[in-house]
Structures are given as structure tokens and as C-alpha cells.
């Protein structure tokens, strides 16, 4: 084993090499024993760290000892949601809703170009509303209730000028002037079959109490909510619906014609002048209402209007109706920009985004509506549940 090198000191070198070899032979068993004894500790440290990366080895000098796992109280602080996937999802959703509310208050609806913060808030909601695991959750219902409280608080006072437009859920809107309050397609909402409604009966009743009349566009359950209709009629308030809707309800005013129809409705604050346009959603009749208030303000709600055949007259309908202040149009209307120009409004507000219960490809996102509105020449505004736009000429 010794290496012999021929030089003047060959004997000395040979002796040194033999000495080193004997030292190695002497200490090798000791090193082997120490390593063998330490290996379980090393494995324990590695295993502990893999299971819980928050637990690191303690420095005890020359000996490696796994750190004891933290108490349950400490564990809750470092990794509170391990093994609690549903609780984790609800927690981060509630935190996101809180952030959204803050951003929306700081960046309210406007016909100006939306700020990045406002766009971020609405598109953060897209991510939440497209997570089907949250369908039917109390978390989403609580968010909706908080948004509706904002509406009720604002409705305590009538606008002295102009009109306030409140966006509720789906395609539900309330328009309020100094003299009248008009509702369209109010719907409590269901997040999924057999789940609780998004808007509680108590909250919806409070909203109905502040309205004078409701117009219904077409016979779909997300636009005609029989319980809401009953809230209106029980309060002696008028409900106007297409002829094929709520046929057995004699307290509802049914109107439908294949020609533009003029009607007047008396409410507490005065007289409403209404033009009913004979629209369609595919083959289903869909009344489009154009309403002029005692103040001379005019607004229209299109329901779920979607028909290529109707475009023949809709693309120039502004010649047949009063000058339009505000158009409330469903966000997936066919040839939206052309239809808007056909009405010629001063302001456009979209509806029907993020209807829960649909597959996510049919939960029309705020992000897509933002893209569509970028191509609209007229002033426009994208709103979410429970927001208010104060329109003034």
C-alpha cells in the first residue's frame, strides 16, 4: 500500500506513508460507528422537514437534533389551513371580497375610462364567480347582502336632479328620479338548484318597498321571479309583463304587440310614458321598454334581446322613440355596437354579467364586457352588484 519514491530521502518517505496508512486503519472503524449512529437522526431531520417545511433543525453544537413540532396554537399561525381545503377557499374568498369592496368605494362607477384598480376589482370578481365550488355558498350570499345594503342605504334619499341607476343581480335594475322609482326584472337569484337565494326575501322586500312599478321583459326564471312579483302586487304596486308570462296572475298587466305600442302608467310620483318594442330572444317574445319620467328623462331596458331578424328595425329605432338618456343592454346582445347606435343613448350600462348557476362559459365576465365596451363610441359604464351610477345631463 505504501508508495515508494526513489530520492535521497526514500526511507523517510516510506516510513511516513506507512504511518498515515496505519492512522487511517485505526480511525476508520470509529468514523463508521459515528456515522451509523447519526444516520437515524439525519433521516429524522429530513423526514420532519419534508412533512413540515416550517420545522427546521435546532443548532445544539456538534449534535443535530430535529426540532420538536410546534404546538397546535403555533401550527395554526404558520399553516392554519393544512387539511382544511374548504375553509381555505372560503377564507381567501372573504379576504378578496373585502378588498373588492374597498377598491370599488375608492373607484366608483364612471363613464370615464375605468382605472386599473377598478378593472382589477371587477376581474377579481370574475375569478371568484367562475369558481363553481362557491356556488350556493353562504360566503357569496353574504357578499350579495352587503352589496344590497349599499343600495338600500343610498335609496334613503331621492336624487334632486337626474336619475340614479342601481344594478342589482343579473339583469335586474332600479332607476330612481325625484318623482318615480322604476324596477326591471328583479330576481333574488339562485346560485344553483335547491340552494338559498342570493338576495334574501327580507332584503328584496325592502327594495320593493322603495319602488313604484316593475317591468318584466320575458318569460325566463332569471327575469321573472314570482315571489318578487307577489311582493309588488301585495303592496298594491303595478307589474307589467309580456302576454305569455304569469298568465294566471290577474294582478299583472299583460302587454304584447308586434308593433311599437304606446302606454301610460300612473304612479305615486306622476305619469310614466312607455313605448313597448316587440323584441325577441331567438323565438321567445321579449318586450323592450322605453320609459320617460315626469322629469322628461328617458331610459330603456332591453331584457335578453337577441334576434337577427329584429335588427332590421332596431338599428334605426332611435327615429321611433324619444331621445334616449340611458340604455340598459344585456352584455351579450348581438351586434352590440350597432344596436347601441340604433338606440343612440347618451350613456350605456351593460347587464347580465356573471349569472351564477350557468357553466362558466356562459357566466359572461366583466373582463369580456370591458373588451366589448372599448369598441363602443358612446359613453359607457360597467357596474357590478349593488353599485350606483348617478346620471345627470
What the chain holds in terms of domains, given with CATH numbers, is 10-78 (no CATH), 131-391 (3.60.15.10)
Residue 91, pLDDT score? 94
Residue 79, pLDDT score? 77
Confidence of residue 71 (pLDDT cuts 50, 70, 90): low
Q: Are 364 and 355 in contact (CB under 8 A)?
A: yes
* 60 vs 389, more confident: 389
- Number of Cβ within 10 Å of residue 103's Cβ equals 17
> What's the rounded Cα separation, in Å, for the pair 255 and 188?
24
Confidence of residue 76 (pLDDT cuts 50, 70, 90): low
Size of the chain in residues: 393
Residue 33 has pLDDT above 50, yes or no: no
Residue 136, pLDDT score? 86
Least confident of 22-36, 128-142, 336-350: 22-36
Confidence of residue 119 (pLDDT cuts 50, 70, 90): very high
Residue 77, pLDDT score? 62
Please compute the mean of the pLDDT values over residues 175-184 and round it to a whole number: 98
> What's the whole-number average pLDDT of the chain?
86
Residue 180, pLDDT score? 98
Residue 211 has pLDDT above 50, yes or no: yes
Question: What percent of the chain clears pLDDT 90, i.e. is strictly above it?
Answer: 75
**What SS3 state is found at 390?**
strand
Strands 298-301 and 326-330: what pairing?
parallel
- Number of Cβ within 10 Å of residue 334's Cβ equals 14
Taking Cα atoms as reference points, which of 293, 357, 332 lies closest to residue 132? 357
Residue 7 has pLDDT above 50, yes or no: no
In sequence order, what are the beta bridge partners of 298? 292
Confidence of residue 25 (pLDDT cuts 50, 70, 90): very low
Residue 322, pLDDT score? 98
Residue 42 has pLDDT above 50, yes or no: no
Radius of gyration of the chain from its Cα atoms, rounded to whole angstroms:
35
Please compute the mean of the pLDDT values over residues 220-235 and round it to a whole number: 97
Residue 36 has pLDDT above 70, yes or no: no
Residue 161 has pLDDT above 50, yes or no: yes
Amino acid at each position: 500500500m505504501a508508495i515508494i519514491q526513489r530520492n535521497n530521502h526514500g526511507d523517510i518517505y516510506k516510513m511516513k506513508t506507512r504511518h498515515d496508512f496505519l492512522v487511517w486503519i485505526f480511525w476508520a472503524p470509529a468514523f463508521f460507528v459515528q456515522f451509523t449512529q447519526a444516520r437515524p437522526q439525519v433521516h429524522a431531520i429530513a423526514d420532519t422537514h419534508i412533512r413540515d417545511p416550517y420545522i427546521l433543525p435546532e443548532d445544539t453544537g456538534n449534535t443535530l437534533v430535529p426540532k420538536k413540532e410546534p404546538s397546535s396554537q403555533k401550527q395554526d399561525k404558520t399553516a392554519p389551513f393544512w387539511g382544511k381545503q374548504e375553509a381555505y377557499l372560503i377564507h381567501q374568498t372573504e379576504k378578496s371580497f373585502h378588498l373588492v369592496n374597498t377598491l370599488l368605494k375608492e373607484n366608483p362607477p364612471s363613464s370615464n375610462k375605468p382605472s386599473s384598480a377598478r378593472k382589477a376589482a371587477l376581474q377579481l370578481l370574475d375569478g371568484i364567480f367562475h369558481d363553481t365550488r362557491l356556488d350556493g355558498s353562504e360566503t357569496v350570499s353574504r357578499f350579495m347582502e352587503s352589496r344590497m345594503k349599499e343600495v338600500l342605504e343610498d335609496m334613503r334619499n331621492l336624487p334632486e336632479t337626474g336619475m340614479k341607476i342601481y344594478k342589482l343581480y343579473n339583469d335586474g335594475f332600479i332607476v330612481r328620479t325625484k318623482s318615480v322609482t322604476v324596477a326591471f326584472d328583479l330576481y333574488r337569484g339562485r346560485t344553483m338548484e335547491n340552494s338559498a337565494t342570493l338576495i334574501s326575501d327580507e332584503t328584496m322586500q325592502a327594495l320593493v318597498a322603495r319602488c313604484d312599478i316593475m317591468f318584466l321583459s320575458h318569460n325566463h326564471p332569471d327575469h321573472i321571479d314570482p315571489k318578487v312579483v307577489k311582493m309588488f302586487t301585495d303592496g298594491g304596486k303595478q307589474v307589467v309583463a309580456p302576454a305569455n308570462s304569469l298568465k294566471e296572475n290577474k294582478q299583472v298587466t299583460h302587454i304584447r304587440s308586434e308593433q311599437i305600442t304606446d302606454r301610460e302608467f300612473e304612479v305615486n310620483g306622476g305619469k310614466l310614458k312607455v313605448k313597448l318594442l316587440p323584441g325577441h330572444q331567438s323565438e321567445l317574445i321579449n318586450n323592450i321598454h322605453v320609459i320617460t319620467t315626469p322629469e322628461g328623462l328617458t331610459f330603456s331596458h332591453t331584457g335578453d334581446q337577441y334576434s337577427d331578424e329584429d335588427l332590421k328595425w332596431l338599428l334605426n329605432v332611435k327615429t321611433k322613440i324619444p331621445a334616449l338618456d340611458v340604455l340598459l343592454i344585456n352584455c351579450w346582445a348581438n351586434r352590440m355596437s350597432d344596436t347601441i347606435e340604433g338606440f343612440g343613448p347618451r350613456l350605456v350600462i351593460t347587464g347580465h354579467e356573471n349569472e351564477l348557476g350557468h357553466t362558466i362559459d356562459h357566466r359572461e365576465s366583466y373582463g369580456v364586457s370591458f373588451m366589448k365596451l372599448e369598441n363602443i363610441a358612446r359613453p359607457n359604464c360597467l357596474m357590478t352588484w349593488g353599485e350606483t351610477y348617478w346620471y345627470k345631463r
